[in-house]
Amino acid sequence: MSLPKNLDSADMLGKIKSFPGQMIAGFDLGSEAWRSVRLAPQAVVIAGMGASATGGDLLRLYLFGQSRVPVFVFRDFRLPVFIGRGSLVVVSSYSGDTEEALSCLDDAEGKGADVVCVTSGGKLLREAHSRSIPHVVLPKGFPPRASLGYSFSALLALAHKVGLCPDPTAELRECAQHLDEISTIYSSDAQDNIASRLAADLGARIPIICSSGALDAVGLRWKNQFCENSKRLAFVSILPEGNHNDVMGWEGSSSAIDAGIVVLRTTDEHPRVARVLAHARDIYGGKARFCGEFWGGGSSLLCRMFSLILLGDYASYYLALGNGVDPTPIATIEKIKTWLRNG
């Protein structure tokens, strides 16, 4: 697949390639930053927006079968009333200037919750210093969506520190090694590069991501990456919920729909959902112009999650270039932020 890489003005490809190393570096940064944290929270909340909240989504997913402490992600200007003493609120903003995250910082402190921060700078870092709030400083120079390896693994270090999971170091290193191996393929012109092949199969079609609840945050990441990197409308359907509503939307058309179905699979699926996903081609294939199934690889849930995330990141990059789009700029998002600042 010959692509005009000169469109990649800010080297998004290089940033995607850095993902495996980010996983280790972010955990090390977090382990150092949280050294003085002494907490046994009754609930953990990650407050952030966009890619700065995605690490929280993935942490919630990873901890689902391990932690007896509930983990929530909130994307808003304020926190729910149940947050208070005994709650740990992680305020996450890569830029440090996200107004929703800054609002939640004040809200969390006002409710008496314990607070830590994840950022690369901006007002959030200044507030963390002035208020003596524990914080991790992520490396600068990345679009937030391209720093996910850092932000997730810094949160993973926090989860281990406060007792939500056993030491994940060995699992994390195995995951990073696997990601490094598949990244070598996905960044090459190899015939077995399924990332570039998927982008070619999608072409001008609307991606619709379908997965089980065991990968809900992964499916959302794929959708977001197609929107931000590829500048392409994309949608996500999570089962079993989608079995009760989304699937009926396909009955309303008598002809093929110009969409590409991307089915994300993992051995962690509930057996009942797995039975439905096994029939995805029968459900969607007759209406969508493309339907492909992709499995997470590796021996752990962490590896299966992030191997699929890396595939989606590369596929969204190749889809951008294939359609003559620079993957880095996000002009409309910046325009909305300007309106809000000036309002």
Closest CA to 296 of 218, 239, 233: 218
The whole model's pTM is what? Answer: 0.96
Query: Do 181-322 and 34-167 fall under one CATH topology?
Result: yes
CA dist 101 and 23 (Å) reads 23
Closest CA to 302 of 120, 210, 177: 177
Q: What is the pLDDT of residue 5?
A: 67
Q: What is the pLDDT of residue 159?
A: 98
**How open is the CA angle 130-133-136, to the nearest 5 degrees?**
110
What backbone torsions phi and psi does residue 28 show, to the nearest 5 degrees? -65, -45
What CATH number is given for 34-167 in this structure?
3.40.50.10490
What backbone torsions phi and psi does residue 38 show, to the nearest 5 degrees? -130, 90
Q: Tell me the domain boundaries of the chain.
A: 34-167, 181-322
Is 244 one of the catalytic residues?
Answer: yes
Contact between 150 and 139 (Cβ < 8 Å)? yes
**How open is the CA angle 181-329-324, to the nearest 5 degrees?**
75
What digits encode the pLDDT tens for the residues 168-196?
999 999 999 999 999 999 999 888 899 99
Q: What is the pLDDT of residue 294?
A: 97
Q: Say yes or no: domain 181-322 is CATH 3.40.50.10490.
A: yes
CA dist 87 and 111 (Å) reads 9
Q: What is the pLDDT of residue 61?
A: 97
**How open is the CA angle 147-17-207, to the nearest 5 degrees?**
75
Catalytic hit among 100, 127, 228, 269: 228
Longest dimension (CA), the chain: 62
Q: What is the pLDDT of residue 289?
A: 86
Give mean pLDDT in consecutive 10-residue pieces for the chain, a chain of 343 residues: 76 98 98 96 97 98 96 97 97 97 98 98 98 98 97 98 97 98 94 94 96 97 98 96 92 78 96 92 84 95 98 98 95 90 78
Is 178 one of the catalytic residues?
Answer: no
Is 228 one of the catalytic residues?
Answer: yes
CA dist 46 and 299 (Å) reads 27
